[in-house]
Amino acid sequence: MHSFIAKLRITLNKIGLVIGGIFYKITFGMFPASMFYMSVDSGHLRTDVRIVEEDENSVTIAKYNKYGVIKPDSFKILATTDIHLGNDPKLRKKALQMLANHICQARPDLVIFTGDIILSRFQQVDAIQFAKLMEKIGIYWTIVYGNHEAREDKGFFKRLLLEGVSGYPHCLVKAGPEELFGYGNHIINILSGEDTLAQSLFFFDSGRDILDKYRESHGVPADMQGYDFIKNDQIEWYKNNVQLLREKYGEFKSMMFMHIPLPEYENAIEGSDEEGWQFTDKCKILYGSAYESVGCSPFNSGMFAAIKEMGSTQAVFCGHDHVNDFCALYDGVYLVYVQPGGYETYGMQEKKGWEENRLPLGVTVIKIEPDGEFFLAQRFNSMYLKENYEKAQAEKQQKKKK
């Protein structure tokens, strides 16, 4: 029954978008203003990435040459978070146009969204719109839940949101094992050769708030409140899959993506909102800034300990804290905040009165080499503001003349 009702609702939502699209065209883009997948200007990019194999838990992908052979080539990922698509058509289009600009210029092989992406009044419809926009761009992508997208650990509407996007050819997200906490726990394996695993990407549903039903089984104090944590079954799932991949490919490198940061991120900063936040000497800071506390769970369930035990994961990527965008090396593991991309939520304009060209909104670029080594870079939305864009174009022309 669940499957039938879900398919029916998704079909009706798609029909509604078709009807809305007809009105959008005949009114020359004036109505309905909510049709963002049609209003965002983007090209259709060519991709060398193909799906090698997949199951309900994972997808294996690789870049192929024109002869149908896997290329031992670098693999580029573009990641962003907390776009917070709400109910303001202008701000929603602005955020998505910035995203499309980054994708079309950076030309990644995979796009990753680390939660709090679609929060509008008509969330289920807009999730399908979002998938249609990504399909129009033509690059493979995946997503994990944030703390705002769903208010339940398991449930019909949370699953429906996932099913609404996962049916599109370029969407790689999987619901994941039913016995695990949440939805969207999945793995993407990136090959750099027929039997060579360059990186394995682990994705986790990091929940919302601490739920009473998990207190006893995880040893959470009765009076402890706050953001959620990675559950024991998710940790065991991670450890088991690392071992299975190791048996198949030998030693390999991996990364993690989730919305809520692990408690270990707190080792990077100290201070307060009143006095400001400073970096500590417990970590090596590679780049970025901190303007708020780490919004992690007060309960440490041992995910980082599992990372150290398994010896595969090099980096953890999260979102959630909109005005932190640093990369810290802690105990041999890179703890990275993905650049946020939203205009319908709090940021440095509200906290510090910053002008738009100073905002840290943008995307994070992860370049993975065939041997698993990786490099990070930040791209900011400010590069597409008119005055900055025109200045950059003028400088480019000057260089050509020289």
Q: Are 220 and 299 in contact (CB under 8 A)?
A: yes
The tokens describing 117, both together, are 């992406």
Q: Which pLDDT belongs to residue 356?
A: 87
Q: Which pLDDT belongs to residue 361?
A: 96
CATH code assigned at 303: 3.60.21.10
Going by their DSSP bridges, the two strands 186-193 and 58-63 should be labelled as parallel
Indicate the pTM of the whole model.
Answer: 0.94
Q: Which pLDDT belongs to residue 391?
A: 60
Q: Is residue 155 part of a domain?
A: yes
pLDDT, averaged per 10 consecutive residues of the chain (402 residues), comes to 79 90 87 90 94 96 96 97 95 96 98 97 95 97 95 86 94 97 98 96 97 94 96 99 98 98 98 93 98 97 99 98 98 98 87 84 98 97 78 62 58
Rounded to whole angstroms, what are the CA distances from 144 to 57, 187, 190, 317, 364? 14, 11, 18, 11, 16
How far is Cα 325 from Cα 322, in angstroms, rounded to an integer? 8
Which structural domain range is residue 60 located in? 42-401
Overall domain count for the chain? 1
CA dihedral 36, 137, 317, 346 (to 10 degrees): -20
Q: Which pLDDT belongs to residue 34?
A: 87
Q: What number of CA atoms fall less than 13 Å from residue 303's CA on the CB side?
A: 33
Rounded to whole angstroms, what are the CA distances from 52 to 64, 170, 357? 10, 13, 42
Q: Is residue 27 part of a domain?
A: no
How far is Cα 31 from Cα 22, in angstroms, rounded to an integer? 10
Q: Is residue 161 part of a domain?
A: yes
Q: Which pLDDT belongs to residue 400?
A: 61
Q: Is residue 293 part of a domain?
A: yes
Q: Which pLDDT belongs to residue 226?
A: 97
Q: Is residue 62 part of a domain?
A: yes
Question: What's the length of the chain?
Answer: 402
Q: Which pLDDT belongs to residue 378?
A: 98
Q: Is residue 28 part of a domain?
A: no
Q: Which pLDDT belongs to residue 401?
A: 59
Q: Which pLDDT belongs to residue 1?
A: 46
Type of residue numbered 123: Q
2-26 and 156-166 helices, crossing angle to 10°: 60
Q: Which pLDDT belongs to residue 151?
A: 75
Residue with tokens 């499309």: 100
Going by their DSSP bridges, the two strands 58-63 and 49-54 should be labelled as antiparallel
Q: Is residue 23 part of a domain?
A: no
Q: Is residue 1 part of a domain?
A: no
Q: Which pLDDT belongs to residue 2?
A: 66
Q: Which pLDDT belongs to residue 393?
A: 62
Q: Which pLDDT belongs to residue 23?
A: 86
The β-bridge partners of 379 are: 363
